[in-house]
Structures are given as C-alpha cells and as structure tokens.
C-alpha cells in the first residue's frame, strides 16, 4: 500500500533545522505540499530546498496560530499538522525562573494546542492527521534531571495527544505522538565527547537516532497505512524507554 501523501498540505513547526528539516525533506519527497513554520528565518532555505512555503514568527504569540491557519486555508486547507517546535531551558527545579518555565510551556505545549485548535476545522474536513512530537521525557524524566519545565511540557503534549485523539476520532482527525529518544542533531553536538558516550551508555542500541528515522515514522503516521492507530505516544529511542 502506498503512503498516498501526494498533494497533501503538511504544516510543520520548528522546521528550520534538525528533525523538523528532516520532516520537510521526507514529506516533500513523498509529494506532499509543505508549509514550514519557525521563528528562525533559515526556515525559508529549508522550504526552498523542499519546494514549499514558509512562515516566520513566534509560536509563543497566540495570534500567530491564526496566521498559520489563514495561510493554510489559502493553500486549500491543511491535511497534516506536525507540532514539532520545542525549546529547552535546563535548570534545577529550585532555580527554574518563572519566565523560563512559561516560555518552555508556551512554545512546547501551548503552541501545539493553539495550532491544533486553529487548524481543527480544516483537518476535520479533509480527514487529516496530527502528529505531535513528544520525547522519551514524556514517559519518565530526562537522563540527568535538571529540566522540569521541558519534562512537564512533554507530558502535556502526551496528554493533549490523547485528549485530541478521543475527540478527533469522531471528527475525522487522527492524532498521535512520537516520543524520540536522543537524536543526532546539532543539539547533541553541544555535549563533549565523554558526555555523548555516557548518554549512549543508557541506550541499549548504543547509538543516537538519525533524524530521518523519526521522519519515517511520521510519514507512516500521516498515511492511511496507520488509519487505525489513535492516541498513541510511540517510542523511537533504541530501547531507552520501553512500554
């Protein structure tokens, strides 16, 4: 069975680099039309390489979700939404500033809620799919602690996924989430060699995921081949978390 993603408008947030850019490349290769969103203007380069469009803006701004929905409607309506944008502000819980907590929750969780809400009618009309990007931290904590705001935001994504999936099942919208482990993006390179090796020691497969592996799972969840999968938060982490 083919993926049948040709001409399906796919909205991807956090698409300027890393996993988001891998999503853009993979969906474009399957013939999907893409609308990429990021606060980094470099998203325009990714869109150009993938033959898509881009919007630059701050997802923590509630009004921006409406702008994205308006542009998607002008393009014929969204078929697929990938809520990938995320940030991290690591700090021990007693030292976590209110502003950092609120920023992480705004970008990681609130923006996903607002954009899903704004695109819900379009997705319902087109039997669409929502794919939220959670984390292994949505099922435990981070490996070394010291990041309560990020962990809480990813648990919120898991809860949003299940709640939206329950309502979406009757509305014609399939909602699932991907929970990656440690992915070989620019962020992991911020750690020194010994730290990277220590992180690998927690992973039974002893390697980091390639961004393309996460994109492959997203393609499956967006396609009709996964039409009976509903409300799942799916691990892809080399055995780091099993459930």
Confidence of residue 240 (pLDDT cuts 50, 70, 90): very high
Look up residue 124 and give its two tokens: 């319902």
Residue 150 designated active-site: yes
Catalytic hit among 27, 101, 150, 208: 150
Q: What is the mean pLDDT of the chain?
A: 96
pLDDT in tens, 59-106: 999 999 999 999 999 999 999 999 999 999 999 999 999 999 999 999
Q: Determine what percent of the chain is predicted with pLDDT higher than 70.
A: 100
pLDDT at 1: 58
For the structural domain made of 9-234, what CATH number should be given? 3.40.50.720
**Residue 238 CB partners (closer than 8 Å, separation 6+):** 181, 203, 204, 205, 206, 207, 208, 209
The tens digit of pLDDT for each residue in 130-176 reads 999 999 999 999 999 999 999 999 999 999 999 999 999 999 999 99
Query: pTM for the complete prediction?
Result: 0.96
* Percent of the chain topping pLDDT 90: 94
């Amino acid at each position: 069975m083919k993926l049948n993603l040709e001409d399906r408008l796919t909205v991807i947030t956090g698409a300027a680099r890393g996993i988001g850019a891998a999503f853009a490349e993979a969906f474009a290769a399957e013939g999907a039309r893409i609308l990429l969103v990021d606060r980094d203007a470099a998203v325009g380069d990714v869109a150009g390489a993938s033959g898509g469009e881009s919007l630059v803006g701050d997802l923590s701004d509630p009004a921006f979700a409406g702008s994205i929905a308006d542009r998607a409607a002008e393009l014929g309506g969204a078929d697929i939404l990938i809520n990938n944008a995320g940030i991290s502000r690591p700090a021990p819980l007693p030292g976590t500033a209110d502003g950092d907590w609120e920023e992480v929750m705004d970008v990681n969780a609130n923006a996903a809620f607002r954009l899903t809400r704004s695109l819900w009618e379009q997705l319902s009309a087109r039997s669409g799919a929502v794919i939220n990007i959670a984390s292994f931290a949505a099922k435990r904590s981070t490996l070394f602690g010291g990041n309560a705001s990020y962990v809480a935001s990813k648990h919120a994504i898991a809860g949003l996924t299940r709640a939206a999936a329950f309502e979406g099942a009757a509305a014609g919208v399939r909602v699932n989430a991907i929970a990656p482990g440690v992915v070989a993006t620019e962020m992991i390179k911020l750690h020194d060699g010994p730290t990277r090796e220590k992180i690998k020691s927690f992973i039974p497969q002893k390697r980091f995921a390639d961004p393309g592996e996460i994109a492959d799972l997203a393609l499956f969840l967006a396609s009709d081949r996964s039409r009976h999968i509903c409300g799942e938060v799916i691990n892809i982490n080399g055995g780091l978390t099993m459930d």
